[in-house]
Amino acid sequence: MTLDSETSKTITRADLAEAVYAQVGLSRNESSDLVEQMLDEMMVALVSGDHVKLSSFGSFSVREKGERIGRNPKTGVEVPIKPRKVLVFRASHVLKDKINKATQQ
């Protein structure tokens, strides 16, 4: 697998469910349900303020950003940006190492 932007593809829920079906041996419906249930659990945890850590992959967390003044790049007019929450992903060292090894080949 290459990481070339022209040949790379987006992995979808259906792709994940198909991989579970092929590798685990559950039915296609059970595989799809398993993927949906896992993603739902992750969403519930993040909405409630918990961290989600997947060993050898990375961790997800929600961070609060405070109010600040931004600038419209076209007009230069200052605009207040309201406080909000953002999703943060930090890749594990294992994932970073795999990505770096794949790009060096």
Q: What pLDDT, in 10s, does the model give residues 59-99? A: 999 999 999 999 999 999 999 999 999 999 999 999 999 99
C-alpha distances (whole Å) from 31 to each of 28, 36, 43, 83, 84 are 5, 9, 19, 38, 35
What pLDDT sits at residue 25? 87
What pLDDT sits at residue 18? 95
Nearest to 66 by CA among 43, 86, 46, 92: 86
Hey, what amino acid is at 24? Answer: V
What average pLDDT does this structure show over 41-53? 96
Q: Per-residue pLDDT for 2 more than 50?
A: no
Q: Per-residue pLDDT for 5 more than 70?
A: no
Query: Which residues, including other chains, have CB under 8 Å from residue 74's CB and lie 6 or more apart?
Result: none
